[in-house]
Chains A and B, each alone.
Chain A
Amino acid sequence: MPAVTVQHIIKTYNSKKEKVTALNDLSFNVNNGELFGIIGPDGAGKTSLFRILTTLLLADSGTATVDGFDVVKDYKEIRKRVGYMPGRFSLYPDLTVLENLNFFATIFNASVEENYDLIKDIFSQIEPFKNRKAGQLSGGMKQKLALSCALIHRPSVLFLDEPTTGVDAVSRKEFWEMLKRLKQQGITILVSTPYMDEAALCDRVALIQTGSIMSIDTPGQIVKSFGKTLWGVRSENMLHLLNDLNSFDEVDRAYPSGIYHHVIMNDGGNKELLQQYLISKYPDVEIIEIEPDIEDCFMQLMQN
């Protein structure tokens, strides 16, 4: 049985005036030992999904299992078996680093000693501050402590809700390296993120937008199914270049993407047409074919 199964989950929130659909008929499975990414912007439904799977929120309809147990009937079993790191810092700020860790171990009937091997890699980085109150740690250290506390009872499935939001590029890379090493210990990991570039680091990803899954596959397959030639175009004046690209009849879409503007042409369009159109105004123009990334795919799926 897969580590996580989700079937036709619907979740709506009702206020006086309106009804908001947070999850609109979601179905997918996560395999044992998989590093599975839920990729989508704020408001896509990531947190609602995680709260349903960790038995903290009831769906309106649909079913889901975690580690073989039903999220409604067997919620007590699930709570013993999952680790959950919410997006917001949820440890006790007035306990020390070590007290927090011991507290979480104890409520799960575990001890820090027996499971230390699992968190050693992460916890050793904050060990010098073990007697500091958790509320006085920096953002990066809070995150490492929260991850240690979520792991200390050796869960079979780990849920990480936006662990890298607001984190700088260097710390994000380090965090993903930690996840890779955790995965080698056989833990199934579900991780959500608004950073599209992190999709490439997952085994499989679900691209999610306004409560619906737009695509679910390996990052490689998602990129392969882009299905159009993507051109990278650049010159000295990028702003005017973008405006001119978007007013060219042969261009379907053009948008900035780092060093190059990414350009998708209408059917029948090719590099020569683009070159002819731009060369007189932009003698320095450079046009290359580029491999789409997950963000390109996400934007294309949003259009459909």
Chain B
Amino acid sequence: MENDFIISAEKLTKRFNEFTAVDAITFDIQKGEIFGFLGANGAGKTTAMRMLCGLSMPTSGKAKVAGFDVYKQNEEIKKNIGYMSQKFSLYEDLTVKENMQFYGGIYHMDDTFIKQKTAFILDHLHLQKEANKLVKSLPLGWKQKLAFSVAVFHEPEIVFLDEPTGGVDPVTRREFWNMIYQAAENGITIFVTTHYMDEAEYCNRVSIMVDGRIEALDTPAQLKKEHDAASMDEVFLKLARRAKRIES
């Protein structure tokens, strides 16, 4: 049964001294699912994500990611996931091609694979002409699409996207979500955070964190029904306003 889930967390907790950043969160994510991970600033999203990515040791609870234990096999987890954030993903002073070679190398992909995959991505994103240009010269929208392609370059089972569309124009934002859908159709599980509430509607399931706990977890349709709300924006506001923890 456990094998059906690509991520499963049980009472996963992280404390910093007296402060409980993540408070016994429990959830399972299925392979190929687009999972929206929402919460107000300071609700504990980043800490939770860092534990799931094998970057931070939990205080207590259990979690498995891509079949690996977050306590004992965090190096294995890192090899089997992709990660992209709005703030940092690509090396600006490397070319488009060099970035892909670099990431391919880091994940120990062989030369033939790197070559073929690079050609495929350049073709797919219509970036052949820009292949030898520095990443910093690309418009932001192209950078974000390239960053996503690089995050899934090594064909991970899961990709974690931390506010991938922040500041991006509305047309590119939608093209980006198209890429997310395609990746999910190819079986890659998507774990995504966003402050755009329309994007919450595009997820298969959404969790909302308040004060370190998961206060709601369901399909967008079910959440709206449950909270008698017309949109995910309303659901989010209703739940996030319950926060008692002083953001400090």
Contacts and interface: CB of A to CB of B under 8 A. Distances in A.
B42 interface: yes
B233 interface: yes
A249 to B, nearest CB: 21
Contacts of A239: 181
B131 to A, nearest CB: 16
Q: List the 9 shortest-distance A-B pairs measured between CB atoms, nearest first.
A: A41-B169, A258-B198, A42-B167, A168-B40, A194-B167, A170-B240, A138-B247, A42-B140, A258-B201
Nearest to A164: B195
Interface of B: 39-42, 86, 137, 139-141, 163, 166-172, 174, 177, 181, 195, 197-198, 201-202, 230-233, 236-237, 240-241, 243, 247-248
A256 interface: yes
Given A42-B167, A196-B170, A167 B231 contact: no
B209 to A, nearest CB: 11
B193 to A, nearest CB: 10
B217 to A, nearest CB: 18
Nearest to B134: A17
Given A138-B41, A166-B163, A257-B198, A173 B237 contact: yes
Interface string A148-168: 000000000000000001111
A267 interface: no
Interface string A101-118: 000000000000000000
Interface stretch (A220-228, A270-278, A294-302): A294-302
A166 B166 contact: yes
A167 B171 contact: no
B171 A141 contact: no
Contact of B195 (A41, A169, A259, A295): A169
B139 A299 contact: no
Contacts of B243: 170
Nearest to A234: B201
Contacts of A68: none
Given A42-B140, A170-B237, A302-B170, 12 more contacts: A40-B169, A42-B167, A44-B169, A141-B247, A165-B166, A165-B167, A166-B195, A169-B233, A170-B241, A170-B243, A258-B231, A259-B231
B139 A170 contact: no
A256 B202 contact: yes
Given A141-B248, A258-B197, A258-B201, A171 B166 contact: no
Q: Interface majority SS on A: helix, strand, loop or mixed?
A: mixed
Contacts of B201: 258-259
A6 to B, nearest CB: 22
A139 interface: yes
A167 B39 CA distance: 11
A169 B233 CA distance: 8
A117 B136 CA distance: 45
Interface string A68-80: 0000000000000
Contacts of B230: 259
Contacts of A167: 41, 195
B208 to A, nearest CB: 11
A169 B140 contact: no
Contact of A169 (B86, B166, B169, B240): B240
A43 interface: yes
B139 A43 contact: yes
Contacts of B139: 43
Interface in A110-145: 129, 137-141
Interface string A162-190: 00011111111100000000000000000
